[in-house]
Structure formats: structure tokens, C-alpha cells
Structure 1
Amino acid sequence: MRADRLVAVLLLLQARGRVTAAELAQELEISLATARRDLEALSAAGIPVYPQPGRGGGWSLVGGARTDLSGLNAAESQALFLLLGPAGSAEPELTSALRKLIRALPATFRADAEAAARAIVSDAAGWGEPEHELPALVRSLRDAVVRRLKVRLAYTGKGKQTTERLVDPLGLVDKDGTWYLIADTEAGRRTFRVDRVASADVTDLPARRPDDFDLSAEWARVVTETERRRSLVSAVVLIDARFLPVLRSHFGRHCEVIAQDDGRVRARVAAHMARSIAEQLAGWGAMVEVVEPESVRTELARIGHELTERYANQPDPA
């Protein structure tokens, strides 16, 4: 039984107050028998859905019971379908769920929700390239997350050594085209780059998932910690104001303007070590002045000495 269909049934019941199995079947494009089974299943699960026999009867939510999704206002409905629209263009299952949920919305919200769902088309393929499908490995891991099954991973770390471990998969994150798996292991919670997974065997063993686990919150923690490690060392630099956009493109969020005066900008840049900062600034030559710390100035001097030793006295090519 599809969860998206059951959500649509609940939304229809709340939006209309009462529906017949025949109306439900027509709206959701399912058989009459399936509509009845869905309604009976909701009732058996403890949701206050009850039939009312006779003319004018049907099924209704007793006492005006509400579901979390059914409390959407107009703005929230548009935001939800803006989010689902691009995903729905790539996933047939989401397209089906989207269509059913739109039909279940109150009539006053439906037109705007449909417009929001169609406002964006996601086309990840470059010109002349085939469409990019969700990688098979990601699909397999997603299935393990949904079914709550342990996965045996063969994972290649930064040191190029492949190790095997049994993990409890908690969720998947797509970070600008790079997929990450968040999972619990015997050594604690870990984040795995999916492109470093040599193999992933989904087992029949049930996986543990903390009741309070929140994937978005966990990913925010991972990002914060990663960015912290990438900015352990900072340097103060002086550059011409017109070059600030270029500096920002080099250091991203690790570039902070401290002061601006007479066309010169004092900024703080950061990386995981002094050498990394120096390597990124070396190509600027005299266009950038490192005020502090001395460790970055020393690294720049070392790079300059190496380049001088290699190229200063070389004869011109014939």
C-alpha cells in the first residue's frame, strides 16, 4: 500500500469532510475495491475514519480530526510544490505522488500549487549528453534507509585503503552532485562519500535508527564541523577593492571583509593550514599583501624561493 496514496486519502477527507469510496477511486485513479481497502486500513490503524451508511453517506474523519500535512496554508502549499516539482520531473514515483497530493488540496490552493509544481524543470544533463539517472548505488542505499536494513560497506578512505564495515544507514544527502551517506557504525556516527564506496551489500539485518534522528539537523552539524576543520588557520590580507570578488571566489565563505578604506580592502581568509592559504595567494604576486600571521608570510617566501631557484637562471628555449 502506497504511503503517498494514504496521505492523499487523508487530505481529501479533511478538505471535503466526507467522501464515498467511488469518489475516492475516481480522484486517485484507483479501483473501487482499492479505495475501500485504503479507507478500511486507515480505520484499522487507529485513524478516526468511519463510514456512514445510507443516502448522503460516505467516509469521514470523526470530530474534524486533522493530519500534519492537512494544516497547510496557501503559502506553505506553494513552497511544498516548488520543492517537489523539480524532483517530480526526475522520479516517476514522485510525479504520481505530486499529482495525488494536488488533487487532495483544498480547491482554493490547488491552482497555485499546480503552478508552483510546474514552475521549475530540472535538467541535469549537459548539452549533447545523455540524461543523468540516480546512480544505482544511491538507489540501493536509499532502499536500505527506507527499509531500515543494515548495509555492509567496502569503503576506500583518503589513504586509498579499503575497509569493510557494517553500518546502520540513516540518510542520504546530495551535495552539489556529490552524494553522502550518513550512518551509525560501531565507532560512532560517520559520513561516507558514496563515490568512495567500492561495494554496498544490503543485508536482512534490521538497522537501528534513533527516534529523534533528524537528517537535516545532522547534515547541518556535518557541514559546520567540516567548515570548521577547513578554516583552522586565518590570515589578514590587503588588496585593491576591485579584486575582492576574485578573492571571494577563491576562498568562498572563508573570506570576510574587516575594513575598507581608500579603495583598499582589509580581509580575513582561512584554510585548514598556513600552507594552503599561501598556495592560494601565491599566484596573486604583489597584488595581495599578507599582514599576518608570520606563518603564512613564511610559506609565501618559501614558495617564492622555490620558483626563483627553478626558473631565474634558466636559458630561454631555442
Structure 2
Amino acid sequence: MKSSRLVSILLLLQTRGRMTAADLAEELDVSVRTVYRDVEALSAAGVPLYGDAGHAGGYRLLDGYRTRLTGLTEGEAEALFLAGVPGPAAELGLGPVLAAAQLKVRAALPRELRTHADRISGRFHLDAPGWYADTDDTPYLPAVADAVWNARVLHVLYRRWREPTDVRRRLEPYGLAAYWTAYQQEFHDRLQRAEAVIRIAPGAVLTGPAARAAEVNGHTDTDGWTRATVPFESIDQAHDAFLRLGAAIEVLEPAELRDRIARTVAALARLYP
């Protein structure tokens, strides 16, 4: 929506300083012409915004101009306070900083949004770690984070399984940022190298990449079952995943996977005659 985009331009210029129309267009995923129109709308609304021409030009706000967070919607205010996970922040040594930041944001919110933010903070607890698993101790995480943020070298001594067991290393840590997201996607794409043709009964629920693939290319037969081509990582992984659905799924291809499941079912039938 245009109103939220105008607020985004205002906050981007407030936090980053001078930005070109091309920079804003890329950040907001709109055309440069749309940015020009939005900037004109902000200027007409009285926002002290001006642009400089030339190679080092761009748009910027008048020095000292600040805006309150009145552009936040109810959902955005709620999500902001739900997303503040205290556990990882505390491990990084940022617990007090996070609390102070949330307090400042809360004070800047209009009264009605402040009420919604307080409500979600009091009613929801985000339990991120997996159940039935011990949490890892991270006593050196603040030191590593400090090295990343301040571009410092780390000298570490760690113990490995083969000789020499105690090894010293000089590390130059760096933030992964968007690289990690792209690497995770590439990793999952590499895992899902094979495909299976399956039929699933009405009401049967697939998970992960198989569910997304079935939603895209699946089609319903006359008996109500859905036929789809889905990716899988390995015969072992697909065997275990599909077998959980019992008689609600039929594997048509590949033959190796179909035969593997048939042998398992036959073995179960012998145990439960």
C-alpha cells in the first residue's frame, strides 16, 4: 500500500541518511518513477525532504528531523515485540540492550498500538529450542559476536578427535547476513535431487518440499486421490517419510523405492498376521 511505502521511505532516509531514487526503488521493490511520485507526496505533506543532483546526490531529510513510529500498523507493533527473543539476546550479552530498545520503541508508539504490543508480550512466549534436547552452552558467543561486529581477529584453542588434539587457530570472523539464507536454500536444493511419483489419499498430509511440490503439480484422479511428482533426498529418507502415512499413500515410481516400501510392509504383515 502507498501509505506504508511512504512511511518506509521516511524511515529509510531517517536511519540511513542520503539515498538515491534507485537505492530506494531497489529497497522497496518498486520502480524509480514510483519513488519520484512518493517523494513528491511526502514533500507535499510537509516532510522536510530534499534531493541533490549529481554523482553524489540523492534524497535526504533536513538535519535534525525525526519522526515518531506512527506508521506502524497494529500487526507490525505486535510482531515487533514477539520477535524480540530474549534467550539469544542474553547469550550475546545484549539482554539489557534489547530491553532498553523495546522500552524506547514502546514509548514512541501511539497509545492504541502500545496496548496491542503489551498484550502480545503478556500472552505469548516464543519457545524456540527443540524439545527433548539439551541446550548447548555458549560461554564464548559474546566474544565471537564482538569480534564480528568490530572486525577483530580471534585466537582460539580447540580440541579435536585426532592428533594433535589441541590446535591453535587464528580466525577472521565475518557476518554471514544474506549469504547464510542463500546457502541454506542451496543446501536444501542439493538434498532434494531425486523425484518420486506418488498418489495420496484425501486428507493425507505431506510435509516439507514434498508438500510444496504436490501443491504445485498435483492433480486429483477420479477416485479422489491426488497424483503428484515430489522431490526426496534419498531412498532411506523417502521410505521413512512415506511409510508414516501408511495406506494413505502409494508410491508409483521409482521402482526401487516402491519395492523397498513393499518389503517393509510385507515384513510388518508377517509380524502382525
- Per the normalisation by structure 1, the TM-score is 0.46
Q: Aligned residue for 1:138?
A: 141
Structure 1's consecutive aligned runs of 4 or more residues displaced over 6 angstroms after TM superposition are: 161-164
Query: Separation in 2 of the partners of 1:163 and 1:301?
Result: 50
Q: How does 1:158-307 map to 2 (within 5 A)?
A: 166-171=170-175, 182=176, 215=177, 217-243=178-204, 245=205, 248=206, 251-255=207-211, 256-257=213-214, 258-261=218-221, 262-301=223-262, 303=264, 307=267
Amino acid aligned to 2:114: E
Query: Separation in 1 of the partners of 2:203 and 2:64?
Result: 57
Q: Aligned residue for 1:64?
A: 62
Gaps of 5+ in 2: 1-10, 15-60, 88-94, 130-134
Q: Secondary structure at the match of 1:267?
A: strand
Shift of 1:143: 2.7
Alignment coverage as a number of residue pairs: 191
Larger CA Rg, structure 1 vs 2: 1
Amino acid aligned to 2:184: V
Q: Secondary structure at the match of 1:234?
A: strand
Query: Separation in 1 of the partners of 2:183 and 2:208?
Result: 18
Q: Secondary structure at the match of 1:279?
A: helix
Shift of 1:234: 1.8
Q: Aligned residue for 2:150?
A: 147
Query: Separation in 2 of the partners of 1:236 and 1:163?
Result: 49
Gaps of 5+ in 1: 1-10, 15-62, 127-131, 172-181, 183-214
Query: Separation in 2 of the partners of 1:118 and 1:86?
Result: 13
Deviations 1:78-132 (A, max 9, x none): 73673245527662221112223444x4xxx432453354243364579xxxxx9
Deviations 1:155-205 (A, max 9, x none): 879xxx99875443334xxxxxxxxxx4xxxxxxxxxxxxxxxxxxxxxxx
Any conservation in 1 of the 2:198–2:229 contact (CA below 8 Å)? yes
Amino acid aligned to 1:83: L
Q: Work out whether 1:111 is the aligned partner of 2:103.
A: no
Q: What percentage of residue pairs aligned between the two structures are identical?
A: 21
- Per the normalisation by structure 2, the TM-score is 0.52
Query: Separation in 2 of the partners of 1:78 and 1:283?
Result: 37
> Counting strand residues as a fraction of each chain, which structure ranks higher?
1
Query: Separation in 2 of the partners of 1:88 and 1:278?
Result: 37
Q: Work out whether 1:83 is the aligned partner of 2:80.
A: yes
Q: Aligned residue for 1:98?
A: 102
